[in-house]
Each structure stands twice: as C-alpha cells, then as structure tokens.
C-alpha cells in the first residue's frame, strides 16, 4: 500500500527495504522474536540516580539489557551513540566496533532512526555525565520501513496526528502522557466506586428502543433475528433495572454512540461512567462528586507527579475550593441582571421565571434597543437566542433556553475562585420538569426536578438526578417523548414498556450519575479537544 506517500517517502522506504534485505543477507531476522529485556530505561536511571551527573568509567560489574525504539543515532565511524526509547523513558546506548561481535556490528550498520533494537551491556557516564550503556550485544528486532517525522518539524498537523496516532505517540511525549493519564483516571474511578461497595456490570450496547438520553442514535441490523437495533446512547435504563433487582450500588464504564456532529467536545463514539446509588439523593451526589474528582486528581498526581505538576499549573480552574451550587432559575436571574436591560432587571426581581414571562412572545423588535444596555447585553447571541425561544413549547423549555444563552457562555466569568484567579466548577441544579424526562420531581416545587449538571471551566462534565421511580409518572413522560417525536423532534426517547414494568415491581429511591470519561481526561490534562484524549477518533475517509 502507498497510502499518503510522496515520491521522497517512496525513495526513503526503498532505501530502508535495501537495508532490511542486507540484514537478511547477514542471517539476521529483521522481525525477530523471543528476545526479552531484563530492564527498563527508568529502572536503569533509578539504579544510578544517586551518582549525579559525574563522568564515570565503565562498570563491568553491572550488566543491563533494554529494548526499544531508536529515537536518535549518530555515527563516528567505528563508534555510534544512540537513544533508545521504551515504555518508561529514554536511555543512551554506545556501540563500538571493537567491542561488539563482528556480526552484531555489521547488522548495526543497517540501523536507522525508528528501528526497534535490543541492547545489552555495561553502564558508564559520558564526559557530560549522561548515563550510557556500552553494548556488548546489539540486535535489530524490527526494521522500520517508514521514517519518523523530521525532529525539527515533528508531527504537528492535527488531522495527521489523529489519523496516524501510532506516530503521534512515538514523537510527541505529551500526547502519550495524556493517554497514560486517561488510563490512571479510569483506574481511579474504579477504585473509588469499588471502595464504596459498588458493583461493576456490563449492559447491552445494542438496544431495540431508543432510551436513556435524548440523542439521535446509530442504527444497525441483526440478521439472524431480523431486528433493527440502535447502538447504545446511554446504559441508564438497564442499570436502573438492576436497582429493581436488588443491586443497590451499581456502575458501568460504557462505550456509547450518538449520531451527532463533531466538535472539540463531541465525538460520535465516547466513554461514559454511569452509577446508580439506592437510598441517596442528587444532593448527596453533589457532595460525592466533589470528593470523587479530588480523589481522581490525587491519584493522577501520585501516578504521574511531573506531568501532573505541569497540568495543574496550567489549569484555568480549581477543584480545591467548594464548588458553586446554584439553581437554574437563580442563575438566570443573576445573568439577566448583569445585562442591565431595565425590563429584564425588573422582571427577575422575584426570580428567573419572571424573565420567561416577558419573553414568551417574539422579542425581535426589542433586540436592537436591549443590546445597547451593557457590554454583556451586546455580547449575547441574540439571533440564536430568539430562534431558540420561539421553538419552545412551554415555560420550562423557555427557562432552559434562557439558561443556555444568558448563563452558560459566561460561567467561567461569573463563577470564580476566592482570589479570582481561576474559574470555579459549578453545579447547575433544579432543572425544569419538561427538560428532564427521567428525573424525579421536586417535592416542594413539582415544576422542577431534582437534577444537576456540573460544568468545569464552561464544559459540561456530569449529569445527575434523583431517579424517578413512579411507574405511572414515567409512563406519562415516555408518552410525552413519543408525542414530540410525532411532531418531528429527532432527539427523543421511545416508550419502553419493559422499563415501566420493571418500575411497577418497585425501584428503591435512588440517585443516578453520568460523567464523560473523555471530558474528565480533557479537563485534568488541559486538552483543547476531545480528539486529544480519544486514541482513534472518528475522521473522514482518507484520500
């Protein structure tokens, strides 16, 4: 295959193939197997850390072996320095013609950057104090036919980086660090929930109905059963069935699929943590979420102290202070006041619902005047706000639209740490009933539900609520979703009769929680795009 290959690359590959053939002629296998290194680069460095960077003679009392990819090599005729990178780091090697067996040195002459090698030998420190292994044995394990990117220009094009992630991980250490961090994050999540006696389970990823979230699904077909199926958009309804079955603390780290557009925060295939906790409320989960995020970050710090220190210093937010917890209507009230639009300020004196009352009818004629009221008013996305409000069918949807356009874009400005230097995570709580078809109504105000979403530096990270366990109420909400679908709404749920039947058997009062693992990894490593924390993000077809 010659996918994406230039004439210059073809020439380089041809040269590398010749060197591979030369290895074969020397009775060397260019794709060897059965060689095991006894040490890693980091272990060798740690064994000599107390020495400092003082030049030292060859120590033949110690022998190390390491295997990895050649990231640099420079030949001086009868001697060559090379840098070998393994999973733990980089170690320097030194090969001399009069030390290596003749066959090894001849094979070594075919070596190039990017090849994978095995080195065994004794340690010493060079004149500059760098720990180095003088090879007594050297073997080319894998001959790389394609060269690595030029070290000065690297692999910087984002599309190429995502498409050729295997190269990205080799040449960009910070990229590999972000993915190691993601693994540590997932491990920490499991430990935290396991310590709380949660049970990890697996639920179906192919569903016969659309449920668990308001999103457009991917469709597939099962041939043997002749069934149209939907790829999972959320594991929620199956996990809550397990609450009915007596699994009072249950979680899943689930691969989910939503047929939506691509953005820095959206990938059609993503990873979601969902857990359900019987005899807890959404208020309990807010407190637990703060504790959980701090524990995850502490685990990351312990696993990757140097990288974590850098990420921490560059984070525009802090999780060390108590998170803000603000009802949605109160946030709309505050945001309306900040616009300094006189009619709005008067309308919200008794709460954000007052703004909804004056925006029920089309307000296009007032926009020009209102936008002059303040710098905040001028910045509002008036066109989309107006369109969004005109599409709303009820006051709950209108309040949510006000939140979307007046509050959410300014979360990082309006909610700050005590010293004002960083943004503060915000729990947006108490959502309108009409926007939350699976959440429990608030006892004091049935027009709201006991729900929160957590935003960290303006990005939604978590969604949670006290669960609806009234089967008749749930059935009514499913019917409302079906009615919306009949009117043309795409992101709606189906009526799940079996789930209603499960609720009729009795589900304990509970709270449920969902968090995007990808977005959490983004937040903790300061990744600008979700594609930077998904190893192989979906891309357009190449060519």
Task: Give the span between the Cα atoms of 349 and 334, in whole angstroms.
Answer: 10
Domain ranges of the chain: 7-148, 155-317+512-543
Task: Give the span between the Cα atoms of 515 and 275, in whole angstroms.
Answer: 9
Strand 227-231 with 219-222, pairing: antiparallel
**What homologous superfamily is domain 155-317+512-543 in, according to CATH?**
Bira Bifunctional Protein; Domain 2 (3.30.930.10)
Q: How far is CA 164 from the centre of its chain?
A: 19
Task: Classify 408 as helix, strand or coil.
Answer: helix
> Which one, of 23, 60, 296, 243, lies nearest residue 138 by Cα?
23
H-only helix segments in 209-254: 236-244
Residue 492: exposure state from Cβ atoms within 10 A (0-12, 13-18, ≥19): buried
**What homologous superfamily is domain 7-148 in, according to CATH?**
Nucleic acid-binding proteins (2.40.50.140)
**For residue range 98-112, what is the model confidence (pLDDT) as tens digits?**
999 988 888 888 999
Strand 459-466 with 249-257, pairing: unpaired
H-only helix segments in 258-339: 282-303, 305-314, 328-339
Angle at 34 between CA 65 and CA 125, to 5 degrees: 10
Residues 368, 382 contacting (CB under 8 angstroms)? no
Residues 141, 116 contacting (CB under 8 angstroms)? yes
Per-residue pLDDT of the chain (543 residues; tens, 9 = 90+): 456 677 888 899 999 999 999 999 999 999 999 999 999 999 999 999 999 899 999 999 999 999 999 999 888 888 999 999 999 999 999 999 999 998 888 888 899 999 999 999 999 999 999 999 999 999 999 999 998 887 545 566 788 889 999 999 999 999 999 999 999 999 999 999 999 999 999 999 999 888 877 788 899 999 999 999 999 999 999 999 999 999 999 999 999 999 988 888 889 999 999 999 999 999 999 999 999 999 999 999 999 999 999 999 999 999 999 999 999 999 999 999 999 999 999 999 988 999 999 999 999 999 999 999 999 999 999 999 999 999 999 999 999 999 999 999 999 999 999 999 999 999 999 999 999 888 999 999 999 999 999 999 999 999 999 999 999 999 998 898 888 888 887 778 889 999 999 999 999 999 999 999 999 999 999 999 999 999 999 888 876
> Which one, of 435, 402, 538, lies nearest residue 214 by Cα?
435
CB-facing half-sphere around the CA of 446: CA atoms within 13 A: 1
Find tokens 């020009």 and name the residue: 368
The fraction of the chain above a pLDDT of 70, given in percent, is 98
User: Has this prediction a pTM greater than 0.85?
Assistant: yes
User: What is the 8-class DSSP label of residue 442?
Assistant: P
| Mean pLDDT, rounded, of the chain | 93
CB atoms within 10 A of CB 10: 11
Secondary structure element (H or E) that encloses residue 462, with its range:
strand 459-466
Task: Classify 168 as helix, strand or coil.
Answer: helix
**For residue range 108-164, what is the model confidence (pLDDT) as tens digits?**
889 999 999 999 999 999 999 999 999 999 999 999 999 888 754 556 678 888 999
Task: Give the span between the Cα atoms of 132 and 331, in whole angstroms.
Answer: 60
Residue 521: exposure state from Cβ atoms within 10 A (0-12, 13-18, ≥19): buried
């Amino acid at each position: 295959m010659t996918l994406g290959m230039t004439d210059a690359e073809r020439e380089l590959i041809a040269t590398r193939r010749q060197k591979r053939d030369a290895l074969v002629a020397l009775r060397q296998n260019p794709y060897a197997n059965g060689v095991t290194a006894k040490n890693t680069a980091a272990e060798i460095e740690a064994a000599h850390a107390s020495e400092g960077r003082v030049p030292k003679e060859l120590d033949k009392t110690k022998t190390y072996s390491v295997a990895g990819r050649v990231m640099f090599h420079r030949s001086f005729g009868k001697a060559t320095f090379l840098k070998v990178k393994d999973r733990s780091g980089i170690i320097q090697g030194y090969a001399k013609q009069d030390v290596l067996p003749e066959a090894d040195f001849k094979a070594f002459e075919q070596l190039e950057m990017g090849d994978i090698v095995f080195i065994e030998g004794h340690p010493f420190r060079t004149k500059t104090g760098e720990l180095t292994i003088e090879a007594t044995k050297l073997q080319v394990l894998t001959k790389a036919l394609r060269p690595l990117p030029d070290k000065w220009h690297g692999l910087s094009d984002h599309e190429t980086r995502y498409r050729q992630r295997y190269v990205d991980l080799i040449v960009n250490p910070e990229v590999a660090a972000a993915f190691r961090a993601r693994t540590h994050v997932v491990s920490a999540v499991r430990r935290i929930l396991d310590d709380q006696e949660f049970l990890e389970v697996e639920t179906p990823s192919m569903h016969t109905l659309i449920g668990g979230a308001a999103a457009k699904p991917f469709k597939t077909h099962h041939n043997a059963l002749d069934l149209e199926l939907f790829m999972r958009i959320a594991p929620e309804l199956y996990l809550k069935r397990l609450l009915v079955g007596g699994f009072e603390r249950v979680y899943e780290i689930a691969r989910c699929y939503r047929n939506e557009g691509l953005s820095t925060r959206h990938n059609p295939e993503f990873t979601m943590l969902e857990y359900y906790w019987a005899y807890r409320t959404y208020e309990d989960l807010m407190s637990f979420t703060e504790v959980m995020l701090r524990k995850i970050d502490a685990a990351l710090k312990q696993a990757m102290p140097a990288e974590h220190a850098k990420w921490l210093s560059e984070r525009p937010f802090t999780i060390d202070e108590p998170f803000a917890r603000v009802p949605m209507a109160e946030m709309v009230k505050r945001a309306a006041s900040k616009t300094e639009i006189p009619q709005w300020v008067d309308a919200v004196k008794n709460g954000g619902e007052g703004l909804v009352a004056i925006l029920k009818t089309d307000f296009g004629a007032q926009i020009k005047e209102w936008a002059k009221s303040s710098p905040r008013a001028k910045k509002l996305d008036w066109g989309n706000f107006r369109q969004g409000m005109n599409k709303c069918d009820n006051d709950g949807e209108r309040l949510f639209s006000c939140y979307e356009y007046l509050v959410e874009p300014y979360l990082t400005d309006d909610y700050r740490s005590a010293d004002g230097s960083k943004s503060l995570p915000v729990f947006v709580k108490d959502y309108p009933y009409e926007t939350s078809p699976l959440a429990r109504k608030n006892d004091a105000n049935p027009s709201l539900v006991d729900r929160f979403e957590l935003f960290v530096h303006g990005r939604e990270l978590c969604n949670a609520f006290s669960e609806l366990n009234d089967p008749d109420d749930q059935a009514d909400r499913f019917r409302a979703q079906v009615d919306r679908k009949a009117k043309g709404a795409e992101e709606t749920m189906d009526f799940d009769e079996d789930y209603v039947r499960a609720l009729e058997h009795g589900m304990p009062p509970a709270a449920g929680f969902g968090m995007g693992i990808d977005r959490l990894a983004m937040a903790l490593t300061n990744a600008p795009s979700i594609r930077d924390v998904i190893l192989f993000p979906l891309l357009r077809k190449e060519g």
